[in-house]
């Protein structure tokens, strides 16, 4: 990238450090560049340079994001999808990152979350109110309603 402007060079150096610190998506980089005072053409040029030099890659970002939110934060797919959409990640890339989550691990995590919530609430009787409390908790974590209901049914049958 040919830049004669010292200001752009300093901005480029700062944004490269920003990207090297942890994985970033294009939208995060764009917002950071805007906070540095860059105009849209400058932002586009810098982002294209960073993509070419492999500093940013939305697909790599989305896969890392989905995996970490699933494994560390114990988020369900719905919550992960919504977070990625807020970061302006394309639907194609979102689908790739979500499909990379192992279905068996996903179901096991949901089962563990539901089972733990039942224990935390000290539920001994599975009435509608108690089931709704557990269901709402799992919904807040971003899991799909049909999977939650099936998981609760499987636990009740035990």
Which pTM was predicted? 0.89
CA distance 66 to 3: 36
**Lowest mean pLDDT: which of 15-29, 83-97, 106-120, 121-135?**
121-135
Structure confidence at residue 1 (pLDDT): 44
Largest separation between any pair of C-alpha atoms in the chain: 72
Contact 57, 90 (CB under 8 A): no
Q: Which pLDDT tens digit goes with each residue over 108-139? A: 999 999 999 999 988 888 889 999 999 999 99
Confidence of residue 5 (pLDDT cuts 50, 70, 90): low
Per-residue b/e over 93-126, b at no fewer than 16 CB within 10 Å?
A: bbeebbeebeeeebeebbbebbbebbeeeebeee
Among 137, 25, 155, 22, residue whose Cα is nearest residue 79: 137
Confidence of residue 4 (pLDDT cuts 50, 70, 90): very low
Mean pLDDT of the chain: 93
**Lowest mean pLDDT: which of 5-19, 124-138, 143-157?**
5-19
């Amino acid at each position: 990238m040919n830049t004669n402007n010292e200001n752009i060079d300093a901005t480029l150096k700062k944004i490269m450090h920003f990207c090297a610190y942890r994985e970033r998506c294009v939208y995060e980089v764009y917002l950071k560049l805007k906070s540095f005072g860059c105009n849209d053409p400058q932002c586009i040029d810098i982002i294209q340079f960073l993509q070419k030099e492999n500093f940013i890659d939305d697909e790599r970002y989305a896969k890392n994001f989905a995996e970490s939110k699933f494994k560390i934060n114990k988020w369900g797919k719905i919550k992960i999808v919504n977070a990625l959409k807020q970061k302006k990640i394309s639907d194609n890339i979102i689908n790739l990152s979500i499909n990379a989550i192992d279905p068996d691990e996903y179901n096991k995590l949901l089962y563990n979350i539901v089972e733990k919530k039942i224990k935390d609430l000290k539920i001994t009787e599975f009435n509608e109110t108690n089931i709704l409390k557990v269901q709402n908790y799992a919904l807040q974590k971003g899991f799909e309603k049909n999977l939650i209901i099936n998981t609760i049914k499987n636990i009740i049958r035990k």
